[in-house]
Homo-oligomer: A and B are copies of this chain.
């Protein structure tokens, strides 16, 4: 009992039988927990030699910092929540990638969730995040998100940043593309190629994005003196499947559209696949534009003419705005529109006169 080997130094290095905590290190080294705590966080208050001793011992003992305990004390958790419609959608995935890169740099952990446009699922996520003491939340709000749900976060000290979509009457920082302008770019491009009967495929009026994009299409037509025919609109899911299924409908329209403005790249690719089952090739028999300029757009066949929508920029800006807010500044309130740009590839071509 008296001179046996110290039980800590078992064979095999950092073998954690009893949980190692700050106080374990403190006792082993004959220091106070205060000093150990400061040393581990590189406080200049601690002597260099002491800091080294502490850090070495921490590694040796396999110490694991308990962030729950720390954040209970400091009320900063290092957790940021991100909730979007569906991370499987490459549009959001590209945004997330940029957010991840930015948050990693600040050593924030991020918690991800889909809401699939369920307001309940979204509120649930916000509540969980609050319970975990989340520092902030970046969200692409679900359709019909009540202002109260965002306020819930903000009132409890968890700032919110909005991406891709907007909630009316809310002054939180919001980053998204200028949809109305962007879709007009695509529509104008088709008009300049001689097209006059242009369908609009995909999307709904339930989101601000959906309304803006339809409006942009309508405006561009009107400006060119082309009559707007609501029958040329096929609303629907914003997915490849949605575009694929719209193809039959598109091809059987009595107005015989020669071009399609699609809600996004996914719909456009699906539509191109669909019409090609009928032997038609985009860029030859019909013209198709996408929206977003996903990484995939350039390697689609034919390569997709589309509108760059700045996913990476949206993600990066949103993350930075949040980090800024966490550090006390808050200049970023309000709407930040990113200017879309045309990307002309092979899926559009001049109208052939019969």
Residues of A within 8 A of B (CB): 15-16, 62, 64-69, 71-72, 77, 79, 87-88, 90, 93-94, 96-97, 100, 109-112, 114, 127-128, 130-133, 155-156, 240-241, 244, 270, 272-273, 276-277, 295-296, 299-301
Given contacts A64-B127, A69-B72, A244-B299, 11 further A-B contacts (CB under 8 A): A16-B155, A16-B156, A62-B155, A62-B156, A72-B72, A87-B112, A88-B96, A111-B111, A112-B112, A273-B299, A273-B301
B301–A68 CB distance below 8 A: no
- Contact partner of A68 (CB less than 8 A), chosen from B16, B133, B156, B300, is B133
Chain B minimum-CB-distance residue to A132: B67
A sample of 25 inter-chain contacts (CB < 8 A) reads: A16-B156, A62-B155, A62-B156, A64-B131, A64-B156, A67-B132, A68-B71, A68-B72, A68-B77, A72-B72, A79-B132, A87-B87, A87-B93, A88-B93, A88-B97, A93-B93, A100-B114, A109-B111, A109-B132, A240-B296, A240-B299, A241-B299, A244-B299, A273-B300, A276-B301
Number of copies: 2
- Contact partner of A67 (CB less than 8 A), chosen from B100, B131, B272, B276, is B131
Which B residues are in CB contact (< 8 Å) with A270?
A: 299
Measured between C-beta atoms, what is the minimum distance from A109 to chain B in Å?
5
Chain B minimum-CB-distance residue to A70: B131
Which B residues are in CB contact (< 8 Å) with A110?
A: 111
Residue with the greatest number of chain B CB neighbours at <10 A, chosen from A66, A277, A300: A66
Which B residues are in CB contact (< 8 Å) with A273?
A: 299-301
Measured between C-beta atoms, what is the minimum distance from A307 to chain B in Å?
21
Residue with the greatest number of chain B CB neighbours at <10 A, chosen from A68, A87, A112: A68
Which B residues are in CB contact (< 8 Å) with A97?
A: 88
Measured between C-beta atoms, what is the minimum distance from A150 to chain B in Å?
15
Which B residues are in CB contact (< 8 Å) with A272?
A: 301
Measured between C-beta atoms, what is the minimum distance from A303 to chain B in Å?
9
Inter-chain CA distance A16–B277, complex, in Å, is 59
Which B residues are in CB contact (< 8 Å) with A66?
A: 72, 131, 133
Inter-chain CA distance A133–B132, complex, in Å, is 12
Chain B minimum-CB-distance residue to A158: B64
Measured between C-beta atoms, what is the minimum distance from A343 to chain B in Å?
17
Which B residues are in CB contact (< 8 Å) with A277?
A: 301
Chain B minimum-CB-distance residue to A87: B87
Which B residues are in CB contact (< 8 Å) with A240?
A: 296, 299
Inter-chain CA distance A288–B19, complex, in Å, is 55
Which B residues are in CB contact (< 8 Å) with A94?
A: 88
Inter-chain CA distance A342–B284, complex, in Å, is 35
Which B residues are in CB contact (< 8 Å) with A62?
A: 155-156
Inter-chain CA distance A162–B43, complex, in Å, is 39
Inter-chain CA distance A90–B241, complex, in Å, is 14
Inter-chain CA distance A301–B299, complex, in Å, is 14
Which B residues are in CB contact (< 8 Å) with A112?
A: 87, 111-112
A130–B64 CB distance below 8 A: yes
Which B residues are in CB contact (< 8 Å) with A131?
A: 64-67
Measured between C-beta atoms, what is the minimum distance from A180 to chain B in Å?
28
Residue with the greatest number of chain B CB neighbours at <10 A, chosen from A16, A128, A241, A272: A128
Measured between C-beta atoms, what is the minimum distance from A144 to chain B in Å?
21
Which B residues are in CB contact (< 8 Å) with A72?
A: 66, 68-69, 72
